Chain A
Amino acid sequence: MSDLHTVNKSPFEKNSLESCLRLSKAGSAILLYEDGVYGALKGTAVENMIASVVADKKVYVLGPDYKARGLDESRIIDGVEVVDYAGFVDLVEANDKVQAWV
């Protein structure tokens, strides 16, 4: 079993995503929600941060938050999976605990 890490801040405003990726173990699940979803878009200055971890960490993005911000689902970084609120609950249940990077 491993942990679910959550990130809800924009990667351009805070270093929450950067710290989360640096300080989580291989096999962790990482969920981007609220302003954290901006990290999931392709072609940004932080794309490499996410792209470089998807091989050994599973990255998710909360669909309703992504959609609210006018971002296009076809432009999500490869390997990042979109989940809904039920999927969020499933992730919480499937992991030992939730660690929030606020």
Chain B
Amino acid sequence: MSDTKNFMFLNRRAPYGTIYAWESLEVVLIAAAFEQNVSLMFVDDGVYELTKGQDTTGIGMKNFSPTYRTLGDYEVRHMYVDKASLEARGLTADDLVQVEWEDWETEESVDNIVEVVDSDRVAELLEESDVVFSF
């Protein structure tokens, strides 16, 4: 099992209304634990998963949005957000959580691995991936 693959998690659902967003996050954590190259892509309503300031106290559900901010610690190196999806929903990068990343060995660090990209880049990234998991 020495093969490392590029896994892409394609997220297209809003959080809370359905279980997809939460399930995706669970599988992301599992894949990262198996030391695969894990990237996340947020398209369509998936961009809603990353809004900051989520407060679920009023609906009696677990707020899992803080978990996204820990993904850098699980060696997730890239989180991409589709620009067109964001714009259609009246959102900008400022509305999204920031995710820090640091390599413990080299001490190389990135302040925010969340990156807004255009459609062409989304297509490219999906094609470059070895496996795309869809949620």
Contacts and interface: CB of A to CB of B under 8 A. Distances in A.
A70 B54 contact: yes
B89 A38 contact: yes
Given A34-B16, A69-B48, A44 B90 contact: yes
Contact of A12 (B15, B55, B89): B89
Contact-residue size bin, chain B (C-beta under 8 Å from the other chain) = 20 to 34
Interface stretch (A22-30, A50-58, A59-67): A59-67
B47 to A, nearest CB: 10
Interface string B28-62: 00000000000000001100100111111011010
Contacts of A9: 17
Main secondary structure of the interface of B (DSSP, over half): loop
Contacts of A86: none
Contacts of A68: 16, 54-56, 58-59, 61, 63
B79 to A, nearest CB: 16
Contact of A35 (B14, B55, B89): B14
Interface in B102-133: none
A68 B89 CA distance: 17
Contacts of B56: 68
From A10, A34, A41, A44, name the one whose CB has the most chain B CB atoms within 10 angstroms: A10
B53 A72 contact: yes
B130 to A, nearest CB: 28
Contacts of B11: none
Secondary structure type dominating chain A contacts: loop
Interface residues of A, number: 25
A41 B106 CA distance: 43
Interface in B53-90: 53-56, 58-59, 61, 63, 65, 88-90
Most buried by B among A13, A34, A69: A69
Given A41-B90, A69-B48, 17 more contacts: A8-B17, A10-B17, A10-B48, A12-B88, A12-B89, A13-B44, A34-B16, A42-B90, A44-B89, A64-B58, A64-B59, A68-B16, A68-B55, A68-B59, A68-B63, A69-B14, A70-B55
Interface of B: 13-18, 44-45, 48, 51-56, 58-59, 61, 63, 65, 88-90, 95
